Structure 1
Amino acid sequence: MAITKANSLKGEIKVPGDKSISHRGVMFGAISEGTTELTGFLDGADCCSTIGCFRAMGIDISQDADHVIIHGKGLHGLKAPSQMLDVGNSGTTTRLISGILAGQPFVSSLNGDESIQKRPMGRIITPLTQMGAHVRSIKDNGCAPLEIGGAPLKAIHYDSPVASAQVKSCVLLAGLYADGVTSVTEPVVSRNHTELMLSGFGADIKSEGLTASIVGGPKLYGQKIEVPGDISSAAYFIVAGLICPNSDVLIKNVNTNPTRAGIIKIAQDMGGNIELLNERIVSGEPVADIHVTSSNLHGCEISGDIIPTLIDELPVIAVMAACADGTTTIKDAAELKVKESDRIATVTENLKNMGCDITPTDDGMIIKGGQPLKGTTIKTYLDHRIAMSFAIAGLVANGETTFDDESCCCISYPKFFETLSSIVNQ
């Protein structure tokens, strides 16, 4: 794949279904009674890993592209898998399913690819152990593969040291199998898809300030869920429309949940022409069409409470910062180090290779923007968000931008390059 400079971007597009909601729809449907139907499901590798895990535990799931039907068997209907569960590249699958497995009357194990085997799982092992589950890192390094021995669970209050929807969701899902009320307090509120969706399935779940709590032992009932477009996928086209000249792009049907939509605020803070149209609620989630046009951008500081609302978008935000006048400083984002790659290092390396003045820090980066970028070969480190972010950088770079391996885009956006080419005018 080679990307060259675009003269403009014009058109109307739709992006794939929200990855977080797609994962949760399968999981919650599997442990509910009756049938759950998902439309707009993200047919990407990560979400298909979740389907595979629940099929391996006896759940009947049919899929036709973005339409998925899950025949749930209730909280206690899962069967012991006959072999190790394969979570692929998916951190969401790994951490959320661990909360469900912790409450089962059988021993299970799970593992994924090389990237998953490096990602920190101590952050879920600790609270699950406090609840009475038997969870261990098989290699004793705090990472997958994991072995989980289900056990009677006790409700706890957990003060999470990190703002992580995956950790919060893991504990709340384990709380479904515990007596009493299980609660999680975070340092900053993370995305709240679990709370919104579980409530729709019938759970007694509440959020107050920084704390989410759930009552154990509910009956969950299957739902019909329309999955909106993923703002993390829309982010690439938001940035592209802002930084490419003479551009006018409309991205239809995007999830604009405020716990996820920090990129919209930052784009506006940087001077971006971005507006939300046709705002509405779909299956409990706020949704809108996003309209962006070419903009003269300037640097800003990105830090504090907004970081969890845009953590997955920071690689493409860094590209936007490279194209903005002045300095952009990203702070409080040490979580970037434990994603599919160390995204502080990978963003810094690739932007430097494109001619950007960028300095990595312990919890972010400092980007002095406004200088022309040049094409190079992007080292993706098999990280889908790095590959797609630097495809967008290639649209404004002189020369040709290529990739050592762009196939990783299939993790979250199998048709990314097809969508991009549909709006690019060379």
Structure 2
Amino acid sequence: MKRTIIPGARTGRVRIPASKSQAHRLLICAALGEEKTEVVCDGISADIAATAKCLSALGAKIEEMETGFLVSPIKKVPEGRCDLYCGESGSTLRFLLPIVGALGAQAVFHREGRLPQRPLAPLDSVLKEHGMTLREDGDLLYCSGQLIGGNYTIAGNVSSQYISGLLMALPLLIRDSLLMVSGPLESAAYVAMTEDALQLSKLTIPKMGAMWAIPGQQRCHLPKRTVVEGDWSNTAFFLCMGALSKEGVTVEGLNLQSSQGDRGVLDVLRRFGAEVTEHGDAVTVRRGALHGVMIDAAPIPDLIPVLSVVASVAEGETRVENAYRLRLKESDRLKSTANLLRALGGQVEEKEDGLVITGVPALHGGAVETQNDHRLAMSAATAACAATGEITVDNDGCVAKSYPRFWEDFSSLKGEGL
């Protein structure tokens, strides 16, 4: 559905929903446990629902409640083919692919949107080397075979999700395993989130440098009631709105010591010149004298669209580097972010692996094509806070992938000075 957004800075308070990244991990750990677990999750996005649905197809019993999920773990994988509908969720696919092998399930992943075009290498080769059979047929990915323990080596500069999936799967195997990461590890904070979830589940996965020694025959033991913390990735949109507002925006419901990599938004906004205040479980951001900065996209790729909006009205030049992986997201996010800024009067040069953005005094109104990308739609809403004319987005419903109540929370903010 098309949405028209009134221009102007916003101010107010928002309570952020549960972390999509942590919810994936905790649901998986709960399903791989031995006892029933309540996973408290404030807000269930399409991606989280996809993981829950896939785990149910693998034999878990997952009851959706008002507060989140009640998870009865997998006791036995269903006989025959398991159809796993992962939608457009890359996390669901990449986390569960090695787990399907560890469980010895015969499964078919049903992929939607751009997900069939997003890479699986080198994870697919590693899984084949250790007992799995994988076959792609259009949007379908057929999986069978029993994953076996042993020595696993995978590159660290492609996707942290590959490493996280293996870390969650290998403890299930009969034999012990050694997981080694070659080269630099990008998005290391996301691997740290997985380690936190496994530690909370009382699994033993000792780490030695770039290697994990993983004993087999382990089961997860999450606390019987586990709460998913607030989502820093979605928080970033409102904090960036605050950076465009003299009165500021406050986001509540956060873990200020979280291992979520997108907590790095605070550092980038401070470097832009915004005023950032942390207090209790909340952060307030207000506009300062914004100026251009250099942004390394490798640890915070999901933040680049919305940080580019801030950069578009920051004095001077902002350079976004190490961002090639953004071309493999729900849209080609380097191209779609550049198109968003240009459509609204921003000055941006698209590079092979980054962006060069020159700040302008203000954006003007215009039409934004989201390409069904949730982060583009929410970035357009942020851009309205720095615009002088109305902005339209062509598909406001795409935010359901990660933040179903985004427009409701956005509408709760008031215009600055009102």
Q: Do the two structures share a fold, i.e. TM-score over 0.5?
A: yes
Q: Does 1:345 align with 2:346?
A: no
Cα distance in 2 for partners of 1:396, 1:27 equals 40
CA distance 1:64–1:260, shift in 2 (3 Å): same
Q: Which moved more, 1:185-194 or 1:18-27?
A: 185-194
Give the distance between the partners of 2:326 and 2:251, measured in 1 at CA: 26
Quote the residue 1:292 is aligned against: 285
TM alignment of 1:71-110, pairs within 5 A: 71-73=72-74, 77-80=76-79, 82-110=81-109
For residues 179-222 of structure 1, what are the alpha-carbon distances to aligned partners after superposition, in whole Å with 9 as ceiling and x for unaligned?
A: 11331425132412111111111211234444444322212224
TM-score by length of 2: 0.92
Give the fraction of aligned pairs with identical amino acids, expressed as a percent.
26
**Are residue 382 (structure 1) and residue 382 (structure 2) matched?**
no
Cα separation, 1, equivalents of 2:227 and 2:105: 33
For 2:95 and 2:127, locate their aligned partners in 1 and report how far apart those are by CA, in whole Å.
Answer: 11
Query: Which deviations, in whole Å up to 9, do the C-alpha atoms of 1:360-387 show, x marking residues without a partner?
Result: 1111110001332111111000000011
Q: Which residue of 1 aligns with 2:176?
A: 180
Change (3 A) 1:213 1:136: farther
Contact 1:38/1:69 (<8 A) preserved = yes
Q: Are 2:165 and 1:170 aligned? A: yes
- SS across alignment from 1:371: coil
Instruction: For residues 218-276 of structure 1, give each alpha carbon's deviation from its aligned partner in whole angstroms, at most 9, with x where no partner exists.
Output: 122242211111001100000000013x3222211224326332211111111111122
Deviates more, 1:341-350 or 1:130-139: 130-139
SS of match in other structure, 2:36: strand
In structure 2, distance between residues paired with 1:318 and 1:86: 33
| Secondary structure of the structure 1 residue equivalent to 2:71 | strand
- Give SS of 1:260's match: helix
Structure 2 counterpart of 1:197, which letter? Answer: A
Corresponding residue for residue 365 of structure 1: 355
CA distance 1:167–1:356, change in 2 (3 Å): same
Question: 2:273 matched to which residue of 1?
Answer: 271
The answer to which of 403-412 and 261-270 deviates more is: 261-270
Instruction: From the superposition, tell whether residues 289 and 331 of structure 1 become closer, same or farther in structure 2 (CA, over 3 Å).
Output: same
2:112 maps to which residue?
A: 113
1:332 to partner: Cα distance: 0.7
* Contact residue 46 and residue 90 of structure 1 kept, 8 A: yes
Note if contact 1:57-1:81 (Cα within 8 Å) is conserved in structure 2: no
Equivalent residue number for residue 281 of structure 1: none
Give the match for residue 193 of structure 1.
Answer: 193
Instruction: Mark the CA change 1:126 to 1:113 in structure 2 (over 3 Å): closer, same or farther.
Output: same
Check the 8 A contact 1:61/1:71 in 2, yes or no. Answer: yes
State the partner residue of 2:385. 395
Task: Determine the structure 1 residue equivalent to 2:309.
Answer: 319
Residue 104 of structure 1, CA deviation: 2.3
CA contact (8 A) 1:44 1:414 kept: yes
Over 3 Å counting, the alpha-carbon distance change for 1:204 and 1:317 in structure 2 is: same
In the aligned structure 1, how far is the partner of 2:214 from the partner of 2:262? 22
Unaligned runs of 5+ in 1: 279-287
CA contact (8 A) 1:172 1:213 kept: no
Q: Distance in 1 between matches of 2:21 and 2:114?
A: 19
Partner of 1:418: 408
- CA shift in 2, pair 1:398/1:68, >3 Å: same
CA distance in 1, matches of 2:43, 2:193: 15
Shift of 1:83: 4.9
Q: CA RMSD in A?
A: 1.9
Q: 1:167 to 1:105 in 2, by over 3 A?
A: closer
* Contact 1:379–1:404 (CA under 8 A) maintained in structure 2: yes
Q: Is the 8 A contact 1:22 1:41 kept in 2?
A: no
Name the CA distance, whole Å, in 1 between partners of 2:234 and 2:99: 28
Residue matched to 1:215: 215
SS in 2 for 1:341: coil
Code of the residue aligned with 1:126 in structure 2: it is S
Cα distance between partner residues in 2 of 1:59 and 1:258: 27
Instruction: Work out whether residues 137 and 145 of structure 1, in 8 Å CA contact, stay in contact via their aligned partners in 2.
Output: yes
Secondary structure of the 1:33 match is coil
Relative to the length of structure 1, the TM-score reads 0.90
Instruction: Report deviation, 1:45.
Output: 0.7
Count, aligned residues: 406
**Which secondary structure does the structure 2 equivalent of 1:183 belong to?**
strand
Q: 1:365 to 1:127 in 2, by over 3 A?
A: same
**Structure 2: how far apart are the matches of 1:162 and 1:404?**
34
In structure 2, what is the Cα distance between the partners aligned to 1:42 and 1:155?
A: 39
Task: Name 2:226's counterpart in structure 1.
Answer: 225
Contact 1:182/1:216, CA 8 A, preserved across alignment: no
The answer on whether the counterparts of 2:126 and 2:152 sit within 8 Å (CA) in structure 1 is no
Q: How far apart are the structure 2 equivalents of 1:387 and 1:291?
A: 23
Structure 2: tracts of 5 or more residues without a match = none
Q: SS at the partner of 1:243?
A: coil
Name the SS of the counterpart of 1:247 in structure 2. Answer: coil
Q: 1:32 to 1:326 in 2, by over 3 A?
A: same
Q: Does 1:236 align with 2:237?
A: yes
d(CA) in 1 for partners of 2:124 and 2:343? 39
Stretch deviating more after TM superposition (46-55 or 208-217):
208-217
Q: How does 1:130-141 map to 2 (within 5 A)?
A: 130-139=129-138
Give the whole-Å Cα distance in 1 for the aligned partners of 2:42 and 2:260.
21
